[in-house]
């Protein structure tokens, strides 16, 4: 019955739904999980790497986290080829703003401009929507640290803690239970790793399957985007009791 409306992104079904957009969200449900948590002194992003083949060589240290500008980073869940396009437009937008105003782009404006692009693909004919959800972590002088989540329909919202990708519902409800206001950044990292370890399919959490990135203010007052190295990530996992030390595990 709904077949007639499946092939067009631009047409509502009689029940008032846009199937292509819903299918895009379905596609994201199969991607690796990413979690973002806002703390009082920074924003934490963790992601699950889905790539498992030992033969695959990853060109960069991160495959889910991208720096958009000096003060904004994002985590991706969904079709990576689609995401690359959007990340590129986000970077262009950020630089274009700096060119106009000689100031860093406010985080929400950046998110909004990207979501406008996403929305366009749900309305203007013949195209499919982007199969990507984003978590944006950033800092600006007006609103401090911020975390935003966006979906293929072009919707976005500000969150204290959010999850996208596989099992995001379970992760979201765990975050809802365990999130407290006034978390420190370290506590946020701990919470994020804990939630990810419980919602991931694999039994043991290792640094090869994980990515951790943080946005915070350095002592000099500059915004810093820092990706956790595999070594220190392994140490963190042991420290927080999420995984066993390597010696004992083997």
Partner 1 sequence: MECVFGLVGNGFAVVAADTSAVHSILVHKSNEDKIMALDSHKLIAASGESGDRVQFTEYIQKNVALYQFRNGIPLTTAAAANFTRGELATALRKNPYFVNILLAGYDKETGPSLYYIDYISTLHKVDKGAFGYGSFFSLSLMDRHYHSGMSLEEAIDLVDKCILEIRSRLVMAPPNFVIKIVDKDGARHFAWRESIKDDSVVPSA
Nearer to partner 1, 57 or 142 (CB): 142
Q: Is 120 helix (H, G, I), strand (E, B) or coil?
A: helix
Task: Work out whether 208 is an interface residue with partner 1 (CB under 8 A).
Answer: no
CB 162 within 8 A of CB 36: yes
Q: What is the spatial order of strands in the sheet that 210-217 belongs to?
A: 161-164, 34-39, 42-48, 210-217, 223-227
Q: What is the DSSP string of 128-189?
A: PPP-EEEEEEEEETTTEEEEEEE-TTS-EEE-SEEEESTTHHHHHHHHHHH--TT--HHHHH
CB 138 within 8 A of CB 110: yes
CA distance 218 to 118: 33
CA distance 16 to 187: 43
Least distance in Å: CB of 85 to partner 1? 24
Task: Work out whether 99 is an interface residue with partner 1 (CB under 8 A).
Answer: yes
Binding residue for partner 1, selected from 108, 178, 186, 187, defined by CB under 8 A: 108
Least distance in Å: CB of 141 to partner 1? 7
- The alpha carbon dihedral of 49, 45, 235, 62 has a sign of positive
Least distance in Å: CB of 161 to partner 1? 24
Binding residue for partner 1, selected from 52, 59, 60, 100, defined by CB under 8 A: 100
CB 205 within 8 A of CB 192: no
Among the listed residues 80, 79, 71, 74, the one whose alpha carbon sits nearest the alpha carbon of residue 34: 74
Binding residue for partner 1, selected from 15, 101, 181, 182, defined by CB under 8 A: 101
Binding residue for partner 1, selected from 32, 36, 106, 138, defined by CB under 8 A: 106
Task: Work out whether 154 is an interface residue with partner 1 (CB under 8 A).
Answer: no
Task: Work out whether 102 is an interface residue with partner 1 (CB under 8 A).
Answer: yes
Region from 98-106, 124-132, 158-166, 192-200 binding partner 1, contact rule CB under 8 A: 98-106
CB 212 within 8 A of CB 46: yes
Region from 46-54, 73-81, 97-105, 232-240 binding partner 1, contact rule CB under 8 A: 97-105
Binding residue for partner 1, selected from 142, 203, 218, 250, defined by CB under 8 A: 142
Binding residue for partner 1, selected from 10, 84, 95, 109, defined by CB under 8 A: 109
Site for partner 1 in 36-65 (CB under 8 A): none
CB 65 within 8 A of CB 227: yes
Nearer to partner 1, 97 or 130 (CB): 97
Task: Work out whether 141 is an interface residue with partner 1 (CB under 8 A).
Answer: yes
Least distance in Å: CB of 177 to partner 1? 32
Least distance in Å: CB of 138 to partner 1? 15
Footprint on this chain of partner 1 (rule: CB under 8 A): 99-103, 106, 108-109, 141-142
């Amino acid at each position: 019955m709904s077949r007639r409306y499946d092939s067009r992104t631009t047409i509502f079904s009689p029940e008032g739904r846009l199937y292509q957009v819903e299918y895009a969200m379905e596609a994201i449900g199969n991607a690796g999980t990413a979690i973002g948590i806002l703390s009082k002194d920074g924003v934490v992003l963790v992601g699950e790497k889905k790539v498992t083949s030992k033969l695959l060589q990853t060109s960069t240290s991160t495959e889910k986290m991208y720096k958009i500008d000096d003060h904004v980073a994002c985590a991706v869940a969904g079709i990576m080829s689609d995401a690359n396009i959007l990340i590129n437009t986000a970077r262009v937008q950020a630089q274009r703003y700096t060119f106009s105003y000689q100031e860093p782009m406010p985080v929400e404006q950046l998110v909004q401009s990207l979501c406008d692009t996403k929305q366009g693909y749900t309305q203007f004919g013949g195209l499919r929507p982007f199969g990507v959800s984003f978590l944006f972590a950033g800092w600006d002088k007006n609103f401090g640290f911020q975390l935003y989540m966006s979906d293929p329909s072009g919707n976005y919202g500000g969150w204290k803690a959010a999850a996208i990708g596989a099992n995001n519902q379970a992760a979201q409800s765990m975050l809802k239970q365990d999130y407290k206001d006034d978390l420190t950044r370290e506590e946020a990292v701990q919470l994020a790793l804990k939630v990810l370890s419980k919602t991931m399919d694999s039994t043991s959490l290792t640094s090869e399957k994980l990515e951790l990135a943080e946005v915070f203010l350095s002592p000099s007052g500059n915004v810093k985007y820092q990706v956790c190295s595999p070594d220190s990530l392994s140490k963190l996992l042991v420290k927080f009791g999420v995984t066993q030390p390597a010696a004992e595990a083997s």
